[in-house]
Structure 1
Amino acid sequence: MDSNFRLIGRVTFIHIATYILCGIVFSMLFDYESLYALEGVKSFMRPVSGESAILGPLVQVVRGMLFGVVLLLGKELFTSKYGWLKLWLFILILGIINTPGPAPSSIEGMIYTQLPLEFHLNHAPELIVQTLLFSYLAAKPRKPRYSNSFIEKNKTPFITSILAGFGISLSGIVLTLILKLDPLAGTKDIGAFVVMFAAMLITYFATKWYCTWVTTAKTIIMAFVYYLAVAVMPTVYNFMVDSPFKSLLPLAINIVPVVIMLLYLVFSGGRDTLHRM
């Protein structure tokens, strides 16, 4: 039972990570804001800068868990050799190209909807790449020499990186209230999401380095790294692009998530290290 929950947790994290990464990259490559404003599309898709930009990442937790449950049911098929390829083809054919209904980028969608062909074609690359990354990471063969699960070995880096993302998001909400800004102002800035994702990556890899061998000196270094990623990077970015969130307040506000991250790191990082030795 415990291994089942770990599988669902791992799949959920992989889905969220690939969804956010591909969403940011392809929205910039194909200019989703203009794409969603096309005639016939704007009445079908919510705008990129709308409320969905806030709710979308939160909903992915539920979607990731549902993917995890499905993978759990088909674990024998999808964890076999080339199981990731089978999973991707399964999602590609049934979930994208040959959907039961007229979904965007599907055969039915191209025939029966009034969505322009440009939308179908420009929307498809994100779906294809994201599902490919998801399938490979979720169902790639596990190396037998590792006795610990993926989640056990990466639990601390995962959680601290998630805390970093939540910390940046929550500080943005606090800053919005303090400066009396438009609550949706931050959703229109794709660059801010890129900075947040970069901060999460820095947090993940720095924490992974920390957990290899815990020392007092490394703990002090991590405090500076976390503060740089969560507080300094977003602040510098806001000043560089003359964002409405341009303020020095995040340097103080984001001390709170940094402290929380450090506390979690200190109380969990050492245990993870000992567990792997």
Structure 2
Amino acid sequence: MESTKLKKRNEDNTQPDSIKGKGSSRFSRRRFLQTTTIATPLLLSVKSPAAWGGGGNLKNCSITEMLSGNASHPHSCQVDAKSPRYWRKVFKSQDGEDLYVVQDVLNQRGVFSDSQFNLNFLSTLSSPQSIVGSDWEYQLSSTLPDNPTYLNALKNNTSYSIILTFDNGVDQPFDIDLTKEGVDDFHQVVVAGYLNSLFHPSIITYVLSPEQVKQSVIMAILESAKIIINSVENGEDPAASNFFDYSTSPMLNLRNFLHTW
């Protein structure tokens, strides 16, 4: 029985997931919607008004009680988005512990502590992506890949890169790291946001669905690539230290939008 479960888990990990500090204020999320095309039509399809606030009127419920059926008022019970620390504890929990029921639900959906970030969020970038009106193409770097597991991505004080390689078949190809200077915790925020979204809207109040989280990552990268290619076509040097403005990048906007805990 144990070997059968392990085999199934390893098979699941070869495919994308099957279910597709309060530092992010309501203002920053609205600013994100207004300042990047990632918002339309994807993010504007979010219908729940409660998702845009901090959940001020929500009941003080327990996810484990909801999943086990022990909540006193399950139909009026929701919780705010949980932090990376909470999800780390879920993945580290053992059978018989309270949080294991949450881990078990994730596992049933094909989500494991050793699920790979790139497989779920960046798989389409393994091949060249074109942009209308430009000869440049971009793809995830094949020589400098960071591909943390969910558990590793959720750890504090860790930094992973999303490095794109740009090539037009004529000029010298170049690499750009999209996750630096304020976007260092991008992987952590995306994974925590995705895990929250898996329980939205029935248990956790969150801003996006699982598929919307994944789509928003790809769209933020697309918008970043457009900015980079436009700069190069305008004669800017991609090797310059100030070539890419991380302070206004779509990656940072998305990071702030997803960070609702």
TM-score with structure 2 length normalisation?
Answer: 0.29
TM-score with structure 1 length normalisation?
Answer: 0.28
The structure carrying a bigger helix percent of its residues is 1
Q: Which has the higher contact order (CA 8 A, sep 6+)?
A: 2
The structure carrying a bigger strand percent of its residues is 2
